Amino acid sequence: MSNLTPLFHKYVNVFLEDPEVERLADSQEFRSPGKKYIIEDTFIKECLELKRHALELQKVIESIKVSYTSEVELTDREKDDFDTEVRLLVQQYFDKLKFLEQYEQKRQSVVATKYLIDAQEGDLLSIFRHKDENLSSFHVTNIQHRSGVLQSLGLILSSIFSEISLMQQQRLTRQRELESIDFNAQLYVPMATVVGSVHQAPAIETTEEEVHQYQETLGKLSQEQLQMLETEHNELLNLKTQELQKVENLGKTMVQIASLQNEITTHLQAQTQSIFGLMDNHDNVELNIQQGNRQLTKAQRRGGKSARLIVYLSVLFGMLILVLDFIN
């Protein structure tokens, strides 16, 4: 590849020979733009502080996630206290974000009124007034930057809230499964209680006594009574089998519902990100429309100024011609 450094220096020398460039380079405005490009508020500082607190909370959640999902390391009361404290913190962060959004909206309305919306000026002297386009572009870019900062904070807080909700949902699902297992274990307790309350015979201590008592009981019963007991036993067994099958179906249904809830949560997160993207696109389109309206208004105003200037000059030249004609 050939050396292009001499050609570059040649172009730079041609550029520096321009007297306008030398004047701008020596001017104080070129060296220090001034305070008009500095926004003296604590918006960015507060956003950074909110982001730092949110990331610290996310680290805490990640560190306690294993203990939270465990049934041994933390008690239910400790988990409830953690849920309450985390929800309060997240609510405070969302309130802070809402306050920053309201402040930025008010600031943007003031900036748009002062710098971005052209006033309708009807006098002839407005032709000679200068509008700082660089300052307007700076404010437009700064508005986009601050809107992006607020959207990024909203996404961070939404992801933290979704993670907390998922952990709490997993805990609730686990508790329901445990309660369902306990319920299944206690299915046959009432029947044993009923049998114990009806049968008042003394406790059977050995297997031989149980067999002897069973044989005596069968000897006292007729064939019809035995058939009736067998039929009732089969009916009870079928009934308990059906109940057990229903409980198993309910357990499967609960697991399916939990899976559907997780899928819905995932879809909601994706939709939230899509909504934020649409809001960003909407803001960009709105800014483009405002810029186009400003350009159209500016062109219309310049056209009106030119027409008024022509009228004024025509009247002035006409009066001058009349005066000259009167003198002659």
pTM of the full structure: 0.47
Of residues 14 and 84, more confidently modeled: 84
- DSSP per-residue codes, 285-325: HHHHHHHHHHHHHHHHHHHHHHHHHHHHHHHHHHHHHHHHH
User: Tens of pLDDT along 164-187?
Assistant: 888 888 888 877 777 666 444 444
Report which residue type is found at 68.
Y
Reported confidence tier of residue 203, pLDDT bands at 50, 70, 90 = very low
User: Sign of dihedral through CA atoms 95, 97, 100, 106?
Assistant: negative
Find which of 22-36, 115-129, 208-222 is predicted with most confidence, using mean pLDDT: 208-222
95-109, 133-147, 189-203: lowest mean pLDDT where?
A: 189-203
How long a stretch of residues is the chain? 328
> How would residue 27 be classed by pLDDT, with cut points 50, 70 and 90?
low
Tokens of 314: 């025509």
Residue 291 CA to residue 137 CA, distance in Å, equals 10
Note the pLDDT of residue 204.
45
Query: Which 3 state secondary structure label does DSSP give 132?
Result: coil
Tell whether the model's pLDDT for residue 195 goes beyond 50. no
For a pLDDT cut of 90, what percent of the chain falls above it?
Answer: 5
pLDDT at 296: 87
Quick: pLDDT tens for 262-278: 778 777 877 877 887 78
- Give mean pLDDT, residues 207-232: 76
Chain mean position to CA 202: 69
What does the pLDDT average to over 70-91? 83
pLDDT digits (tens, 9 = 90+) for 94-127: 889 999 999 988 888 888 887 776 544 444 444 4
Q: How confident is residue 53, by pLDDT bands cut at 50, 70 and 90?
A: very high
Nearest-angstrom CA–CA distance, 69 and 169: 10
Q: What is the rounded CA–CA span in Å between residue 122 and residue 240?
A: 92
Write the single-letter amino acid at 229: L
Indicate whether 326 pLDDT > 70: yes
Query: 50 burial class (0-12, 13-18, 19+ CB within 10 angstroms)?
Result: buried
Residue 304 has pLDDT above 70, yes or no: yes
